[in-house]
Amino acid sequence: MQASGESVQIGDAGAVGAALLSWYDVNARRLPWRTPPGGAGSEAAPDPYRVWLSEVMLQQTTVAAVRAYYARFLELWPTVEALAAAADADVMAAWAGLGYYARARNLLACAREVARRGGFPRDEEGLRELPGLGAYTAAAVAAIAFGERAVVVDANVERVVSRLFAIGEPLPGARAAIRAATDTITPDTRAGDFAQAMMDLGSSICTVRGPRCLLCPLADHCAARAAGTAESYPVKAAKQAKPTRTGTAFWIERGGAVLLVQREGKGMLGGMRALPDDGWSARADGHGTPPIAGEWRTAGMIRHGFTHFDLELQLMLCRSADCASLPPGEFWPVDAVEAAGLPTVFAKAARLALANR
């Protein structure tokens, strides 16, 4: 393995791009948001709205998980203008279960700005001005939708390039070196195809475990393969244990309907419908007191993992409550609660409540 900060130089960067694109022309994945190889920058160029929507959904989420959500969004909002005109609650409900809910809030803000401008900017600089578009998404949309040369680096690309150049610095510190190395092999033409080819290579050939080096079109250029150390890259810093938070959610039922509240627009699960709770998002430990007087009983506990912490959420049920002191919200039919668009943690709590009715 190379020393931290060092990398192997590839003699013919053009050969890397040519080999990868030839492989992609034959092996490109068929995905709902993609056009066939060679589409970017041509008459068959993909719709920027669809490219942007898919890239936002795919952040830290698998292709398999995104397919149904992507189809549903296009069914409800087939254009960026339609999405811009949508109600916040409807979009948040349609996003429920996909996770990382700040993406949905940014999606709406961006759609409204694009509609106001009359369309998407074509280049990275202009795309970075839109709400919620970071370096990766701006580069991906510029390259894939508009055929602009842009350096696109996601987790798959990080893995491929760190092995190709044997970049030994641990992540996340290695990201600057990985991006610089990716820049050296990104071609001036077909940058979108190149980016998608790198993603496909990482997902199907240059996998986290058991990379299929004998089938890789870049095997002859790969420093890690030559050294027999492919699985050692990318180098990752030791993970820190996630803390566990505890809290309580409350199922308040009346006349076959359950009380749902809308969370604050910012912060954890912002803007989503949810069960009332004790504010666990700001708590380190402890269980809350029911928000109203009534006949309460404990239904059990659900566990849910967030990015930076794990949550143990106690569920309490109440069917006879002092309705005069209810927190603001709406009563939703219990038999249709799955259609309320609850985020996963509260959907789990709802299923537990239904099992205890």
Same domain, 277 and 342: yes
Residue 286 lies in a domain: yes
User: HEC states along 300-353?
Assistant: EEEEEECCCCEEEEEEEEEEEECHHHCCCCEEEEHHHHHHHCCCHHHHHHHHHH
Options 43, 55, 113, 264, the catalytic residue: 55
Same domain, 227 and 252: no
Each residue's pLDDT tens digit, 175-226: 999 999 999 999 999 999 999 999 999 999 999 999 999 999 999 999 999 9
What is the CATH classification number for the domain harbouring 226?
1.10.1670.10
Residue 341 amino acid letter: G
Distance, in Å, from the CA atom of 130 to the CA atom of 58, rounded to the nearest integer, reads: 18
| Number of domains the chain contains | 3
Residue 40 lies in a domain: no
**7: nearest Cα among 194, 207, 186, 161:** 161
pTM tops 0.85 = no
Strand partners, 274: 261
Distance, in Å, from the CA atom of 14 to the CA atom of 224, rounded to the nearest integer, reads: 19
CA-atom Rg of the chain in angstroms: 24
Distance, in Å, from the CA atom of 182 to the CA atom of 161, rounded to the nearest integer, reads: 7
55 has catalytic annotation: yes
- Residue-number span of the structural domain to which 219 is assigned: 1-17+148-188+197-239
Residue 3 host element (H or E): none
What is the CATH classification number for the domain harbouring 70?
1.10.340.30
**119: nearest Cα among 74, 73, 85, 81:** 81
Residue 225 lies in a domain: yes
Residue 22 lies in a domain: no
Residue 285 lies in a domain: yes
Same domain, 228 and 258: no
- Residue length, the chain? 357
Same domain, 161 and 215: yes
Residue 37 lies in a domain: no
Tell me, what DSSP letter sits at residue 259?
Answer: E
Cis before 172 (ω within 30): yes
Instruction: For residue 287, give both structure tokens.
Output: 């269980």
Residue 25 lies in a domain: no
- Residue 216: the pLDDT is 97
Total Cβ atoms within 10 A of residue 244? 13
Cis before 37 (ω within 30): no
Rounded mean pLDDT of the chain? Answer: 89
pLDDT in tens, the chain (357 residues): 444 444 445 657 789 999 999 999 999 999 999 998 976 544 567 899 999 999 999 998 899 999 999 999 999 999 999 999 999 989 998 998 888 888 999 999 999 999 999 999 999 999 999 999 999 999 999 999 999 999 999 999 999 999 999 999 999 999 999 999 999 999 999 999 999 999 999 999 999 999 999 999 999 999 999 999 999 999 988 788 889 999 999 999 888 999 999 888 777 888 888 999 988 754 444 456 777 777 888 999 999 998 889 999 999 998 765 555 677 889 999 999 988 889 999 999 999 999 987
Same domain, 230 and 281: no
**52: nearest Cα among 103, 86, 93, 96:** 103
β pairing state of 244-254 and 257-262: antiparallel
Distance, in Å, from the CA atom of 62 to the CA atom of 355, rounded to the nearest integer, reads: 30
Cis before 234 (ω within 30): yes
State whether the Cα torsion 289-295-297-303 is positive or negative: negative
